[in-house]
Amino acid sequence: MLRALRLAGDVVRQALKYAIDLAQPGTPVLEICERVEKLIRGSGAKPAFPVNVGVNEVAAHYTAKRNDVLMVPRVGVVKIDVGVQRDGYIVDAAVTVALGSPFEGLVRAAREALRVALEAARPGVKAWQIGMAIERAAKRFGFRPVYNLTGHRIERYTIHAGDVVPNYPDTSASQALKPGDIYAIEPFVTNGEGFVTERGEITIYRLTQTRRKEFRRLIDIVRAEAGPLPFSPRWFPQIDDADIAAAHRAGVLHGYEVLVERSGGFVAQFEETVYVDEDSVILLADTLELL
Ligand code: MN
Ligand code: MN
């Protein structure tokens, strides 16, 4: 397991490094997603989900649509969130690139929040205690964490395995990190109110039912490539958007809503996946070394 995780982590790191170079003003978001996914597939691994590119107030769950015309802005923030799976073992990591000096502080705050979170992460520590470190770091820089987004425990072929790592000391996250666990720790920091809401758009889906005869063709195609993990319609030129929409309405596909900061605040995010060892945690993507 650890071997597969380390391999996935190496690919995530290379993918993020490449994405950081690509994230220049005027670059099409579609180009970033496609090129980075190509790098992942070329490394003998697979995307664990479509490459997410979140511009400014878009916090999560946005990947380029087919023929997307969105570009990296001249000023703002761009989050790049990459997941790679090797034999079902998933590493999930993200960085934020500041475009223009007004947002360097916000990005620095999110990076610092991940740094202190990883410092707090060790076997026996409770997830809410990591959240306490995250909120403190965000506030020290004059910002807020995003209260309704969390990090998460990962299991084989399952990105969100139930247990969460909050971005504030939410004591309902009472579970302790224990040896053998895999966690994605991902502070989100904003200059807005600190809450995300749905924008009313879906760019990422996941297969949830596999026994529906009317959707057999779509199910077979999606399952062969993505299994139960999230995918982008971009990956399947042979399936048109009307069929995706029908499968979504019928409950065959789950859709992930694009999440935006509700007050329009800009959002920065850094994420690392850790393997909890006997007396420390192993960093799988080494995100903090990238920026
Ligand atoms: Mn992620
Ligand atoms: Mn994650």
Look at residues 224, 219, 85, 210 and name the one whose alpha carbon lies nearest to residue 156. Answer: 85
Check residue 70 and give its pLDDT: 98
Pairing of strands 272-276, 164-166: unpaired
d(CA 139, CA 158): 32
Model pTM above 0.85:
yes
Which residues are known to be catalytic? 81, 92, 152, 160, 186, 271
Mean pLDDT of 135-143: 98
Ligand nearest to the CA of 80: 1
Is 269 exposed, middle or buried, given 0-12, 13-18 or 19+ CB atoms closer than 10 A? buried
| Residues 152 and 285 reside in one and the same domain | yes
| Residues 93 and 232 reside in one and the same domain | no
Mean pLDDT of 14-36: 98
Check residue 98 and give its pLDDT: 98
For residue 230, give the CATH number of its domain.
1.10.10.10
| Residues 66 and 131 reside in one and the same domain | yes
Q: How confident is residue 171, by pLDDT bands cut at 50, 70 and 90?
A: very high
d(CA 83, CA 170): 26
Mean pLDDT of 57-71: 98
| Residues 38 and 104 reside in one and the same domain | yes
Mean pLDDT of 75-87: 97
* C-alpha 239 – ligand 1 centre gap (Å): 26
Ligand nearest to the CA of 160: 2
Mean pLDDT of 48-62: 98
Mean pLDDT over the full length of the chain: 98
d(CA 244, CA 232): 10
* C-alpha 15 – ligand 1 centre gap (Å): 13
Q: How confident is residue 39, by pLDDT bands cut at 50, 70 and 90?
A: very high
